[in-house]
Amino acid sequence: MIEYLPRSKHHSELYLTQFGVENCIPGHFYGPAVREHYLLHYILDGEGVFEVGGRRYHLKKGQGFLICPDIITYYQADVLNPWSYCWVGFHGTLAEWLLKQAGLTQASPILHYDRDDMIYQYVQLMIESKAYIKARETRLTGLLYMLLSLLVEYGPAVPPSEKESRAEIYVEKVTDFIEMNYAQKITIEDIAHFIGLNRSYLGSLFKQQMNASIQEYLVRYRINKACEMMEHAELTIGDISRSVGYNDPLLFSKVFKKVKGISPKHYRAKANFQPQAAEPQEQTGD
């Protein structure tokens, strides 16, 4: 059986377009043809062939194949031992990246998964999701994420791209950590522990890539976020201070002035982000 789904209006990052299970008759084939979305087949039993880019793959139970958008493919069930398979069709801005994490690309389209029957179980749960009236689309998206997470977890190790050095990967992890946690009382030691590197080594890598220390980057990020918050008239300087990781408004004011060359109150006044009502008296410095 096959079920087709309308384009998702709420899950543009990743969404299902179709899914199903089929026991193929001997010699059943599809193509040569192209698809507009990703289509991942997983073989439950039997065998067959998949052709793409001039290559022919003989596949059997525990294997699968990925069809990428706008690529001509052909596949056919074996005449003597036709395959049965389940499949999911999907698309979204995250689809290519998630597949790449699982080791599946246009150049490497063959799936190997023989640990258990979880792929089939997830497709079965998609079929059974008809019982959900209001939350079906969200449930289907969640099941697709679960299925892909399985492939990522147990797929081949994906080496960094040639353009992405290990140092760049660590630096990106630092900046991501700061963006997610700048409002908390985090330390450089916390960041190094999260990433799993020696603090001095990580600091050296970061400075080489960013021309600034991790502490300098963290401070600038917090102050820039504070400047964005100045537009919200209902927030006092103290509110903003606490929201960017400074529980002491006086310390926040000193750091702000060091970075921007002007106090928070004067910055807000100069930018004409004036509070609608008088701010409570706080010790914020000048």
Dist CA 35 CA 66 (whole Å): 11
Domain ranges of the chain: 2-154, 166-270
Task: Write down the pLDDT at residue 98.
Answer: 93
Q: Write down the pLDDT at residue 161.
A: 55
Average pLDDT over residues 196-225: 94
| pLDDT of the residue at 270 | 84
Residue 266 predicted with pLDDT over 60:
yes
Residue 7 has pLDDT above 70, yes or no: no
**Least confident window among 46-60, 153-167, 172-186, 224-238:** 153-167
pLDDT of residue 156: 85
Architecture of domain 166-270: Orthogonal Bundle (1.10)
So what's the pLDDT on residue 279?
47
Query: What is the rounded average pLDDT for all residues in the chain?
Result: 89
Does domain 2-154 fall under CATH 2.60.40.10? My reply is no
Q: Which residues of 78-91 are buried (b: 16+ CB within 10 A; e: fewer)?
A: beeebbebbbbbbb
- Nearest Cα neighbor of 209 from 170, 180, 154, 245 is 170
> Which pLDDT score, from 0 to 100, does residue 202 have?
93
The Cα–Cα gap between 273 and 72 comes to 57
Q: How far apart are CA 39 and CA 28, in angstroms?
A: 17
pLDDT for 2: 59
pLDDT of residue 276: 46
Query: How far apart are alpha carbons 243 and 234 in whole angstroms?
Result: 13
Q: Is the pLDDT of residue 268 over 60?
A: yes
> pLDDT-derived band of residue 286, with 50, 70 and 90 as boundaries?
very low
Distance CA 129, CA 133 (A): 9
At 13 the pLDDT is 87
Contacts 24+ apart (CB under 8 A), 69-72: 69/34, 69/35, 69/36, 69/37, 69/38, 70/34, 70/35, 70/36, 71/34, 71/35, 71/106, 72/31, 72/32, 72/33, 72/34
The arithmetic mean of pLDDT across residues 263-274, rounded, is: 81
3-state secondary structure the chain: CEEECCCCCCCCCCEEEEEEEEECCCCCEEEEECCCCEEEEEEEECEEEEEECCEEEEEECCEEEEECCCCCEEEEECCCCECEEEEEEEECCCHHHHHHHCCCCCCCCEEECCCCCHHHHHHHHHHHHHHCCCCHHHHHHHHHHHHHHHHHHHCCCCCCCCCCCHHHHHHHHHHHHHHHHCCCCCCHHHHHHHHCCCHHHHHHHHHHHHCCCHHHHHHHHHHHHHHHHCCCCCCCHHHHHHHCCCCCHHHHHHHHHHHHCCCHHHHHHHCCCCCCCCCCCCCCCC
- Which tops the pLDDT comparison, 169 or 29? 29
pLDDT digits (tens, 9 = 90+) for 135-188: 999 999 999 999 999 999 998 876 655 445 788 889 999 999 999 999 998 999
Choose the weakest-confidence range: 6-10, 182-186, 195-199, 211-215.
Answer: 6-10
- Quick one: pLDDT band at residue 277, thresholds 50, 70, 90? very low
pLDDT of amino acid 262: 94
Confidence of residue 281 (pLDDT cuts 50, 70, 90): very low
